Amino acid sequence: MSQYIDLESFNQQIAIESAFIKSLLEAHDRVIVGQRPMMNSLLIGLLTRGHILLEGLPGLAKTLAIKTLASAIHASFNRIQFTPDLLPADIIGTQIYNPATLDFQIRKGPIFANFILADEINRAPAKVQSALLEAMQERQVTIGKETYKLEEPFLVLATQNPIEQEGTYPLPEAQVDRFMMKVMVGYPSMEEERTILRRNLDGSIAQEIAPIIEPGDILKARKAVEKIYLDSRIENYILNLVFATRKPSEFKLGDLAPLINYGASPRATIFLAQAAKANAFIHQRGFVIPDDVQQVVRDILRHRIGISYEAEAENINQDQLISSILAKIEVP
């Protein structure tokens, strides 16, 4: 009984600490119509220090979403347009010689911001991609002999265009794996687009968002997310989902074995647990339920499963494989 009272008290505490989420979502709705799943993914990444790879066509509010979030959190935002002629120094910064002082001075690049939009990351060569990914992983940048820590919160939202692949430099699997989530951004519904049309014609769409919280509040929220209760049965559920991508035959999914070249890495297990906790926090719960795992599992796993030529020939993608796994693995 005492455990129940403690859990109830903890839920109340989480409800208080996550109250700002509602204000952030309301701010999002004043600027952007629809695209709540994308916003939810941004919040999960923000609460867990995880970076996000977005794939979607131009004009689907990817840039606007992260700019709105940055404004609402009173944080700095930089957009980097990746092009084939970009250099690593264009991102992280470089040393500039000053003839007046006869020495080199550091000029910091656009990576020094809380929110970074890396637009069309696959348009730039490997060295540039590596420079960004190193900053994402280490959360620091080395220019010359000096190392500079990147200010928290630090979130990278990288985008890829699913069309026009000529002249691009696709990210290797090992680099893609460093992104916590790969989110597919789709078109709005007809009613949502009708609202977008009317808002833009009558000028009722919000142009600026006043800051709602400070970056320090996000750092406090991250500590609260870490305390979210994850039951051992949920742990087993997460492990079974990940291991089913590696050894499908052991989970009575033998028909998937010829369709999968390689399964998800251990990062998937870690990120899946963290994302489920963050999702519980967003919904003002102090504990994770299976629905939290199911809501984030596709975004966590889709870029970590390698499909075979046989799967490609049959037009089977990662999302279909994940759906088959979810249907088979027992829910606690």
State the pTM of this model: 0.87
**If we measure between CA atoms, which residue out of 113, 119, 120 comes closest to residue 135?**
113
Those residues with Cβ within 8 angstroms of residue 95's Cβ, 6 or more apart along the chain or in another chain: 104, 105, 106, 107, 143, 144
Task: Give me the residue label for tokens 């999914």.
Answer: 253
In a domain, 236, yes or no: yes
Q: Tell whether the model's pLDDT for residue 170 goes beyond 80.
A: no
In a domain, 8, yes or no: no
Percent of the residues in the chain that have a pLDDT greater than 90, as a whole number? 29
Q: What is the dihedral of CA 244, 49, 109, 58, to 10 degrees?
A: 60
Q: Residue 2 — very low, low, confident or very high, per pLDDT cuts 50/70/90?
A: very low
Q: 285 and 214, same structural domain?
A: no
Strands of 203-308, DSSP E: 260-262, 306-307
Q: 313 and 263, same structural domain?
A: yes
Q: 145 and 39, same structural domain?
A: yes
**What pLDDT, on the 0 to 100 scale, is given for residue 225?**
93
Q: 124 and 92, same structural domain?
A: yes
| Residue type present at position 110 | P
Q: Residue 1 — very low, low, confident or very high, per pLDDT cuts 50/70/90?
A: very low
Q: Are 48 and 317 in contact (CB under 8 A)?
A: no
CATH classification at residue 281: 1.10.8.80
pLDDT (tens digit per residue) in 219-260: 999 999 999 999 999 999 999 999 999 999 998 888 999 999
Residue 263: φ, ψ to 5°:
-95, -175
**What pLDDT, on the 0 to 100 scale, is given for residue 164?**
62
Residue 165: φ, ψ to 5°:
-85, -5
| Residue type present at position 50 | G
Between CA 96 and CA 177 the distance in angstroms is 34
In a domain, 6, yes or no: no
Between CA 15 and CA 284 the distance in angstroms is 5
**What pLDDT, on the 0 to 100 scale, is given for residue 168?**
65
Q: 147 and 165, same structural domain?
A: yes
Q: For residue 263, what are the domain limits?
A: 228-328
Find residue 142's DSSP bridge partners: 147
